[in-house]
């Protein structure tokens, strides 16, 4: 039944999104397009340049080497990012990106006129040669952008690591990996970039778009990614995410052994995990009395939470209330269609109802982000909230939106509450707690205590 529900959810979501019409094509007769569009074959596409950047500064590769300069007060003083001309089959026909201790590094085409990729969409591929020299502590994301609010990327972290030390390899991605229904590929503003972080070194050559290609690289289906369970695969999370999951499983066992099962469980991303950091004093004041369990994991999307639920994090407990807030990373990382994020949240509610049938769910609106109202990411979160408000059933699921409590009267965010316009300070956690406690207390009081369930035998295989 669970598998059938997942399939039905993914299928119905794909069908709904597939019905969205494509952007209207230009009325002028199209000119014939070549079967191959060379983005970088020894030199960049006419009018374009090679750029290299970290998250603070950038540089153009105009000679043999380019080093990203440091600002006066860099946030990561030890990081290094550079690009250079290198060789594959001929002199200077390749580009090498090298980075060290970087939060973000990119090698990209930039500065040229928009590129029309519409003719290449039906059977087209984005292809390039890659030589991974060092990637044990780095990753790889392949990206293009088709205008404001249209940044499309494929996370290729684990397959790219498997290429380390194997010399030059050809990668071919279906161009549809980077396209969503409604995107206009008639004016692509960034036709190619490789993004990474951590430490590593790789080289790129022969970057082309083919009108008819054969893909050999996998990409997730954006229409169902939010409802397909997966661990979090990010460079900065690989070393701690799985150990934190194991630690939470052990914590549940300890609480069972002590007879202090949680009456309340918080489920979410870094904003929820922050109750263990900036919000710790407030947590102790308001939620320690419930032996509350914090299942917040930084960077999580809806599908990552789903994976955790299916791998035992709520097995063997019977909390009175589960507080759920998730979705802002679906927005920030993928600029995801609000409908797919909402489908992921709906899927989580279904999973919780199946695993914790006696637990009431307090579904929180996704918190605002970006300093000022009207920003594209805040707008996506607002749309998510309008959709998920309808998930409340007045009985087992209650929806609560405390966004206004976190904002100034004009809709802006204060650095005293959200220092980075996303994560909360201690003051922010205090505002959250004060707005949450009346509803949470009432729900706890309404829910009868349940006996401790036996540990579930339905935990999914890794």
> What gap in Å lies between CA 135 and CA 160, rounded to an integer?
8
Token look-up 């009175």 returns: 320
What are 250-254's contacts with CB under 8 Å, separation 24+?
A: 251/293, 252/293, 252/312, 252/313, 252/314, 252/315, 252/316, 252/317, 253/316
Could you tell me which residues are beta bridge partners of residue 51?
Answer: 60, 108
Q: Is 450 exposed, middle or buried (0-12, 13-18, 19+ CB in 10 A)?
A: middle
Angle at which helix 338-355 crosses helix 302-310, to 10 degrees, equals: 20
Q: Is 53 helix (H, G, I), strand (E, B) or coil?
A: strand
- Residue 420, φ and ψ in degrees, nearest 5: -110, 15
- Residue 48, φ and ψ in degrees, nearest 5: -105, 160
- Alpha helix segments (H runs only) across 185-298: 241-258, 270-273, 280-286
Contact (CB, 8 A) for 402 and 368? no
Compute the chain's Rg from CA coordinates.
Answer: 24
231-253 residues labelled b (16+ CB within 10 A) or e (exposed): bbebbebbeebeebbeebbeebe
Among residues 291, 271, 253, the alpha carbon closest in space to that of 421 is found at 271
Contact (CB, 8 A) for 285 and 222? no
Token look-up 């069908």 returns: 15
Query: Which residues are designated catalytic?
Result: 270, 420, 423
Could you tell me which residues are beta bridge partners of residue 174?
Answer: 125
> What gap in Å lies between CA 68 and CA 309, rounded to an integer?
42
Give the count of alpha carbons within 13 A of 449, CB side only. Answer: 7
> What gap in Å lies between CA 198 and CA 327, rounded to an integer?
25
Token look-up 């979090």 returns: 232
> What gap in Å lies between CA 152 and CA 189, rounded to an integer?
12
- Residue 383, φ and ψ in degrees, nearest 5: -65, -40
Among residues 371, 439, 449, the alpha carbon closest in space to that of 406 is found at 371
């Amino acid at each position: 039944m669970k598998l059938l529900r997942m399939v039905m959810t993914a299928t119905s979501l794909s069908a709904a999104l597939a019905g969205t019409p494509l952007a209207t094509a230009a009325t002028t007769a199209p000119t014939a397009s070549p079967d191959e569009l060379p983005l970088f074959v020894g030199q960049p596409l006419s009018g374009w340049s090679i750029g290299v950047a970290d998250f603070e500064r950038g540089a153009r590769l105009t000679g043999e080497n380019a080093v990203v300069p440091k600002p006066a007060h860099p946030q990561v003083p030890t990081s290094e990012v550079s690009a250079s001309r290198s060789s594959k089959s001929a002199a200077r026909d390749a580009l090498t990106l090298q980075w060290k201790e970087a939060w973000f590094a990119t090698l990209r085409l930039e500065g040229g006129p928009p590129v029309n990729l519409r003719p290449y969409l039906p059977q087209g591929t984005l292809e390039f040669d890659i030589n991974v020299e060092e990637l044990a502590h780095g990753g790889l994301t392949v990206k293009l952008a088709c205008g404001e609010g249209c940044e499309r990327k494929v996370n290729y972290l684990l397959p790219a690591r498997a290429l380390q030390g194997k010399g030059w390899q050809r990668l071919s991605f279906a161009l549809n990996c980077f396209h969503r229904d409604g995107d206009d590929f008639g004016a692509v503003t960034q036709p190619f970039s490789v993004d990474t972080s951590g430490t590593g070194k790789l080289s790129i050559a022969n970057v082309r778009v083919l009108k008819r290609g054969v893909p050999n690289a996998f990409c997730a289906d954006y229409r169902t990614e939010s409802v397909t369970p997966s661990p979090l695969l990010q460079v900065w999370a690989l070393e701690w995410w799985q150990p934190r999951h194991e630690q939470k499983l052990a914590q549940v066992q300890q609480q069972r052994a002590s007879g202090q099962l949680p009456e309340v469980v918080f489920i979410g991303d870094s904003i929820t995990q922050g109750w263990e950091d900036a919000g710790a004093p407030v947590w102790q004041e308001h939620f320690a009395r419930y032996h509350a369990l914090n299942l917040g994991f930084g960077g999580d999307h809806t599908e990552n939470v789903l994976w955790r639920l299916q791998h035992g994090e709520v097995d063997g407990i019977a909390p009175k209330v589960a507080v759920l807030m998730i979705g802002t990373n679906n927005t920030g990382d993928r600029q995801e269609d609000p409908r797919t994020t909402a489908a992921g949240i709906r899927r989580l509610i279904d999973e919780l109802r199946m695993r914790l049938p006696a637990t009431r769910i307090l579904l929180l609106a996704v918190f605002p982000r970006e300093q000022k109202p009207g920003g594209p990411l805040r707008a996506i979160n607002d749309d998510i909230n309008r959709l998920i408000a309808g998930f409340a059933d007045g009985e087992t699921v209650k929806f609560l939106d405390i966004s206004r409590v976190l904002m100034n009267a004009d809709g802006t965010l204060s650095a005293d509450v959200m220092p980075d316009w996303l994560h909360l300070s201690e003051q922010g956690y205090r505002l959250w707690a004060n707005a949450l406690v009346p509803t949470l207390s009432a729900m706890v009081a309404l829910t009868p205590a349940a006996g401790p369930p036996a540990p579930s035998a339905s935990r999914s295989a890794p």
